[in-house]
Chains A and B, each alone.
Chain A
């Protein structure tokens, strides 16, 4: 028997069309902004950057395209793909459609860490470092609580996550209360809402390796993760150690989310909604879900960020826009994908 695709092949799930769509969207996004650049102009700028002879006096545009727009676009793609893949993996191992990558407290921890650094007026690199460190610390705390209460069962991990999220939410409240309401507090609030507006090439260098490492790990373990979707007992009798795989997934997803959140703030909904988007035609095996979620997460995040950039009046925070757009998508999708969860 051949490993055929068992469901009707579908134009929206065709990998070539998805990849082509993403490349097209990236190209389109490069032209978007205060200085709108048409496709022809864009080609000539990109052409020029690779040392080919182009128009003179295009250096300004080259730096706009390659040092300002491209990092932002790459970050949207990386963070979107990473959050969506983490969400898909968490929904699978926790066997729950309402789980998102933030469930173990990583975002709450990162938010507190960033706010703390801003309270002490530390430079941006330390704000990011604090966010990352506290994000990881929060998840470690969740795992510790889960281990003490019930040998790291699914329920104890989710409960631990809820407790830790509440705890760091309270810490954040303390920091906000102490923060100078004129100078510091607005920065904290804006950071928490999430944004890609100040993306720099250095941010890409920080996010890229962590995301690639995390996604690579999820990909390597994709079939073991799929086995876990059958539940602890069945996975174990089918030869897969549930605890080990769960820890690998938590490690990979936490790395992706913590680094992503530390660079661009809180971006919710992508990790929750995208796996549902990837399942609109019914349940599927995790390896397929993973790849689809990555692609859809990248496209969705980039498209939302493009929308933010095209609104000229004010730049809305990314976290706000993902929720504004994510909520209706989720409400439309949930009844359609419910059949895949019972």
Chain B
């Protein structure tokens, strides 16, 4: 179940493409991090994958099926979206919010079946938030809400999960928790694409990284090969360092990425 993007072009105005003849292959059952500056086209690319925008040209094939040619309902069986925030107009309980992703499966006039509720229960269980089942969605913390949104996407039973900055606005522990969850989901067979502004996260949690600059791919491949000082410097137009931490109490060392500031020799 790999995602193959080819010759993809799109822009909001005719003369100005945001995504310019982009090609990218995303491996199945892996986490792929999409990096780039603000305005590089990350969100536009996600929206194209999700069918929220229609490309000028090009294909987005998931497991051989061109997502751009599918109906809204059929596409939702293959690709699910985890937004940064969700702001339902008048939400009820966590379970009711997570159940929303099942409604496109209902034939007109029918109520959700036990199968739909089971999918929600399973997804909340997978995210470790079964105890939030009956809580009003509005009462949750930002981290809890994001877990509910991931659970909602899981209940949709799509093989491709598209996440818009899943770690943004979370505290450091919640960020690491979130990344671990994403890793576990990839290991269970799902294909995950996430945007991020934390180069470290691409090294810690994602198998693959794709660097997006000016609407096309600067570099892509296994994270540890792509996330080099040279590539990051080109990506962000600023000198970057990638350093190893000392041995941490876990017995491991980690790589961290830092933009350099101040006077350079």
A230 CB, min distance to chain B CBs, angstroms? 5
B219 CB, min distance to chain A CBs, angstroms? 28
A1 contact from B83, B121, B138, B152, Cβ within 8 A: B121
B27 CB, min distance to chain A CBs, angstroms? 22
Is A233's beta carbon under 8 Å from chain B? yes
B138 CB, min distance to chain A CBs, angstroms? 6
- Check A340/B90 contact, CB under 8 A, given A220-B108, A238-B76: yes
Residue of B nearest to A94 (CB): B89
The interface size bin for chain A is: 35 or more
Q: Which chain B positions have C-beta within 8 A of A3?
A: 111-112, 114, 117
- Check A6/B134 contact, CB under 8 A, given A1-B117, A239-B76, A240-B72: yes
* Docked CA distance A220–B106 (Å): 11
B91 contact from A91, A97, A283, Cβ within 8 A: A283
Contact, CB under 8 Å: A234 / B83: yes
Is A66's beta carbon under 8 Å from chain B? no
Contact, CB under 8 Å: A239 / B90: no
- Check A92/B90 contact, CB under 8 A, given A2-B114, A237-B80, A238-B103: yes
Residue in A223, A287, A342 with the greatest tally of chain B CB atoms within 10 Å: A223
B90 contact from A238, A241, A279, Cβ within 8 A: A279
Q: Interface code B82-104, partner A: CB below 8 Å = 1, 0 otherwise?
A: 01001111111101110011011
Contact, CB under 8 Å: B136 / A285: no
Contact, CB under 8 Å: B52 / A237: yes
Residue of B nearest to A225 (CB): B103
A285 contact from B73, B92, B101, B120, Cβ within 8 A: B92
Q: Which chain A positions have C-beta within 8 A of B101?
A: 238-239
A6 contact from B92, B111, B156, Cβ within 8 A: B92
Q: Interface code A280-295, partner B: CB below 8 Å = 1, 0 otherwise?
A: 0011110111000000
* Docked CA distance A126–B164 (Å): 56
Q: Which chain B positions have C-beta within 8 A of A231?
A: 86-88
Residue of B nearest to A232 (CB): B52
Q: Interface code B40-53, partner A: CB below 8 Å = 1, 0 otherwise?
A: 00000001001110
A252 CB, min distance to chain B CBs, angstroms? 13
Residue of A nearest to B104 (CB): A239
Residue of B nearest to A88 (CB): B90
B87 contact from A289, A339, A340, A342, Cβ within 8 A: A342
Q: Which chain A positions have C-beta within 8 A of B103?
A: 223-224, 226-227, 238-240
Residues of A in contact with B (beta carbons under 8 Å apart): 1-3, 6-7, 91-92, 95-97, 219-221, 223-224, 226-227, 229-231, 233-234, 236-241, 279, 282-285, 287-289, 339-342
